[in-house]
């Protein structure tokens, strides 16, 4: 048979060779792909419902809420100037924005533009109602999870702040991110422990802080008044349970409204009690006397003579001099603390070696973090003999609270050893942690450290502090009906620019422990750069007295002059049914904030709680039909 000339032999052979080469290339390619490790397709990450932060009794401090981004698709607006103008005029007041700014925004946008991000539920409802009414179908809404801080600036540096991406940026929100919003894990990588078996993987845990929100509010009122009266630049206040280490109140001023965190300045965001290292001044003298007394370097009845200047002549011929504010004459170590005498404290420091003194200071926890549940905690500065800045005058200077830098948390931590018979207790901000179903995941138990003072030494220091409150520099903190021990302090602030101590800027402070007989509370207040009067005994001691009174009344601690009555010992509580919301809005009148807490977990409605106490009015009225994402306003007094 004759072959058609269209299929020439050489072209046919070339064609089949090319096909074979292509086939071999495909086979090799598929083989390589088969041998490669398969990369799993990234699954869409499920949103985790963030846990709440509440106070020790369940009072809400930080709760999950919804926010919305408002955007506009400008395609249908590009050729309609009148529609753009009318829309800008209608939406501007609802978003709190300038009308002309919105008009320019949508005029210059190419396809889509966000008008405003992160508006709250109330604003969203108003905008949505307006756009639907006017037929503005080019407006879109993107719902995002957010955080609401119903008490605004209350304990703001402790609570911290959550950013737009759902990550904590400061405070407890940052340091306990994995508890509040657990990271999703592959089941093949880790197995759930028995304690986690009841926890929904997409729901974070609730953190009960140790602070008492009502007490925090009362003490913040006192702190705010102090800031105004002293015209100070900053202030710190810590109140702690000396037996458990739980911190009941934590104040750092200036503070920030957590709902407006992005607008705050850097000074308002600083967590001073944890992050700031400063020279404590004369309050530190209680630890100096405690250390030397515990080392048997001094005795209670031994006397020292103050002539207004601590002087020590060195073998080199140099003389060290540290001024005292007065000529106190003859006195014991108790008098040295009572009058805050630099001369006597300097002489007391001569009774212990440099090495042993620094060693004992470190045993008290200075020069290291306390380990509380807060980020950015400073270690302070404790010099030793190998430091290039150590000199012959370092030991007596440290003894009076200078040439050493501490944090307010370290001072309170060290004070627990005096209040607890020589055994310090670790400070904490976490009272307990619960799963979303209410079951307890973690509950704090006191963590006691190694003994740092004998019981005799701690009792002696307490007696010295009591005398200081009654007849010494802390007399303005003295209470009539509760025995309180205090130590005041005033320290010049070191200027790193001039390399010298300032003549105008001071740290004024006071430490209190009460009741003296059976210590329960440690209260420490620091005022920075007050204007006018600066002595701690004059401006901080009265604040200690006022704050201690508030604490005693709030906690119901017994007072010496308080009336007593007989009681059967049987107390009956009326049973309160848990608050529930059905198809209609219930009557909230008379309900407390604690009663309202379970309702904050609901995602189909939003509860806005205004004020403290009990509900006196509400909107909508009782009986109104519940709708999705309904906002219920509750006013408390």
Residue 467 has pLDDT above 50, yes or no: yes
Taken in order 568, 569, 575, 576, the sign of the CA dihedral is positive
Residue 1 has pLDDT above 60, yes or no: no
Q: What is d(CA 378, CA 628) in angstroms, rounded to the nearest whole number? A: 47
Nearest Cα neighbor of 250 from 59, 526, 439, 585 is 526
Residue 572 has pLDDT above 70, yes or no: no
Helix ranges (DSSP H) in 112-151 = 121-134
Q: What is the pLDDT of residue 578?
A: 59
**Which is higher by pLDDT, 33 or 256?**
256
Residue 566 has pLDDT above 80, yes or no: no
Joined together, the tokens standing for residue 586 give 């219930």
Other beta carbons within 10 angstroms of residue 419's beta carbon come to: 27
CB-count exposure of residue 375 (10 Å: 0-12, 13-18, 19+): middle
Q: What is the pLDDT of residue 524?
A: 98
**Which is higher by pLDDT, 246 or 106?**
246
Q: What is the mean pLDDT of residues 82-87?
A: 91
Q: What is the pLDDT of residue 619?
A: 81
**Which is higher by pLDDT, 501 or 544?**
544
Residues 6+ apart with CB under 8 A from 561: 480, 481
Contact 535, 508 (CB under 8 A): yes
Q: What is the pLDDT of residue 613?
A: 64
Helix (H) or strand (E) holding 509: strand 500-514
Q: Band of the pLDDT at 46, cuts 50, 70, 90?
A: low
Contact 630, 607 (CB under 8 A): no
Q: What is the pLDDT of residue 6?
A: 52
Q: What is the pLDDT of residue 195?
A: 46
Contact 496, 504 (CB under 8 A): no
Q: What is the pLDDT of residue 606?
A: 75
pLDDT in tens, 347-381: 999 999 999 999 999 999 999 999 999 999 999 99
Q: What is the pLDDT of residue 14?
A: 65
Q: What is 178-215 written as a DSSP string?
A: HHHSPPP--TTT-PPPGGGTTS-TTBPPEEEESS-HHH
Out of 3-7, 366-370, 594-598, 629-633, pick the least confident: 3-7
Taken in order 170, 417, 279, 363, the sign of the CA dihedral is negative
Residues 6+ apart with CB under 8 A from 499: none
Q: How far is CA 587 from the centre of its chain?
A: 35
Q: Provide φ and ψ at 249, rounded to 5°.
A: -150, 140
Q: What is the mean pLDDT of residues 622-630?
A: 76
For the chain, the first-to-last Cα distance in angstroms comes to: 110
> pLDDT exceeding 90 applies to what percent of the chain?
63
**Which is higher by pLDDT, 246 or 494?**
246
Contact 473, 338 (CB under 8 A): yes
Q: What is the pLDDT of residue 476?
A: 95
522 DSSP β-pair partners: 240, 513
Out of 63-77, 538-552, 578-592, pick the least confident: 578-592
**19-33, 162-176, 213-227, range with greatest mean pLDDT:** 213-227
Q: What is d(CA 243, CA 254) in angstroms, rounded to the nearest whole number? A: 29
Q: What is d(CA 547, CA 240) in angstroms, rounded to the nearest whole number? A: 13
**Which is higher by pLDDT, 71 or 9?**
71
Q: What is the pLDDT of residue 87?
A: 92
Q: What is d(CA 631, CA 608) in angstroms, rounded to the nearest whole number? A: 7
Q: What is the pLDDT of residue 571?
A: 42
Out of 151-155, 325-329, 388-392, 596-600, pick the least confident: 596-600
Q: What is the pLDDT of residue 235?
A: 97
Q: Provide φ and ψ at 282, rounded to 5°.
A: -65, -15
Q: What is the pLDDT of residue 561?
A: 52
Overall size of the chain counted in residues: 637
Contact 496, 289 (CB under 8 A): no
Q: What is the pLDDT of residue 92?
A: 93
> For the chain, what is the mean pLDDT?
87
Q: How far is CA 600 from CA 389, 498, 519, 605, 609, in A?
A: 55, 54, 38, 9, 10
Contact 223, 237 (CB under 8 A): yes
């Amino acid at each position: 048979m004759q072959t058609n000339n269209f299929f020439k032999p050489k072209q046919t052979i070339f064609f089949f060779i090319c096909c074979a080469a292509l086939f071999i290339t495909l086979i090799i390619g598929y083989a390589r792909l088969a041998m490669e490790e398969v990369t799993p397709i990234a699954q869409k990450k499920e949103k985790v419902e963030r846990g709440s932060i509440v106070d020790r009794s369940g009072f809400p401090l930080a709760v999950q809420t919804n926010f919305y981004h408002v955007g506009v698709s400008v395609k249908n607006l590009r050729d309609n100037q009148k529609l753009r103008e009318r829309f800008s005029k209608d939406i501007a007041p609802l978003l709190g924005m300038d009308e002309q700014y919105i008009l320019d925004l949508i005029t210059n946008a190419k396809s889509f533009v966000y008008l405003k991000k992160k508006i709250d539920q109330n604003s969203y409802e108003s905008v949505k109602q307006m756009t639907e009414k006017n037929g503005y179908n080019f407006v879109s809404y993107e719902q995002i999870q957010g955080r609401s801080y119903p008490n605004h600036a209350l304990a703001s540096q402790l609570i911290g702040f959550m950013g737009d991406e759902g990550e904590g940026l400061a405070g407890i929100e940052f340091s306990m991110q994995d508890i509040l919003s657990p990271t999703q894990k592959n089941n093949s990588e880790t197995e759930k422990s028995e304690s986690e078996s009841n926890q929904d993987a997409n729901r974070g845990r609730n953190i009960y802080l140790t602070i008492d929100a009502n007490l925090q509010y009362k003490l913040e009122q006192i702190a705010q008044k102090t800031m105004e009266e002293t015209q100070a630049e900053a202030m710190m206040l810590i109140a702690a349970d000396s037996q458990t280490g739980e911190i009941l109140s934590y104040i750092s001023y200036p503070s920030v409204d957590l709902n407006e965190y992005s607008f705050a300045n850097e000074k308002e965001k600083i967590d001073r009690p944890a992050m700031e290292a400063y020279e404590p001044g004369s309050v530190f003298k209680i630890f100096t006397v405690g250390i030397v007394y515990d080392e048997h370097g001094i005795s209670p009845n031994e006397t020292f003579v103050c002539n207004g200047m601590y002087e020590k002549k060195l073998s080199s011929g140099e003389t060290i001099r540290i001024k005292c504010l007065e000529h106190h004459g003859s006195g014991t170590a108790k008098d040295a603390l009572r009058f805050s005498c630099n001369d006597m404290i300097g002489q007391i420091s001569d009774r212990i070696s440099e090495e042993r003194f620094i060693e004992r200071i470190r045993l008290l926890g200075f020069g290291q973090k306390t380990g509380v549940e807060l980020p950015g905690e400073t270690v302070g500065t404790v010099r030793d003999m190998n430091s290039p800045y150590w000199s012959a005058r370092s030991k007596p200077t440290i003894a009076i609270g200078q040439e050493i830098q501490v944090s307010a948390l370290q001072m309170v931590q060290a004070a627990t050893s005096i209040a607890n018979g020589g055994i310090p207790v670790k400070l904490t901000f976490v009272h307990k942690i619960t799963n979303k179903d209410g079951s307890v995941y973690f509950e704090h138990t006191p963590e006691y450290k190694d003994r740092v003072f004998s019981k005799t030494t701690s009792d002696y220091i307490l007696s010295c502090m009591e005398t200081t409150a009654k007849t010494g520099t802390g007399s303005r903190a003295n209470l009539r009906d509760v025995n309180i021990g205090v130590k005041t302090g005033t320290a010049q602030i070191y200027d790193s620019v001039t390399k010298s101590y300032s003549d105008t800027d001071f740290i004024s402070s006071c430490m209190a422990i009460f009741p003296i007989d059976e210590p329960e509370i440690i209260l420490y207040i620091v005022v920075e750069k007050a204007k006018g009067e600066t002595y701690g005994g004059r401006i901080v001691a009265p604040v200690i007295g006022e704050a201690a009174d508030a604490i005693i009344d709030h906690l119901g601690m017994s007072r010496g002059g308080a009336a007593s009555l007989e009681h059967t010992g049987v107390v009956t509580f009326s049973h309160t049914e848990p608050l529930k919301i059905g198809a209609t809005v219930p009557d909230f009148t008379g309900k407390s904030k604690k009663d309202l807490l379970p309702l904050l977990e609901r995602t189909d409605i939003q509860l806005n709680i205004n004020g403290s106490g009990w509900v006196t009015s509400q909107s909508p009225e009782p009986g109104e039909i519940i709708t999705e994402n309904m906002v219920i306003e509750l006013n408390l007094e």
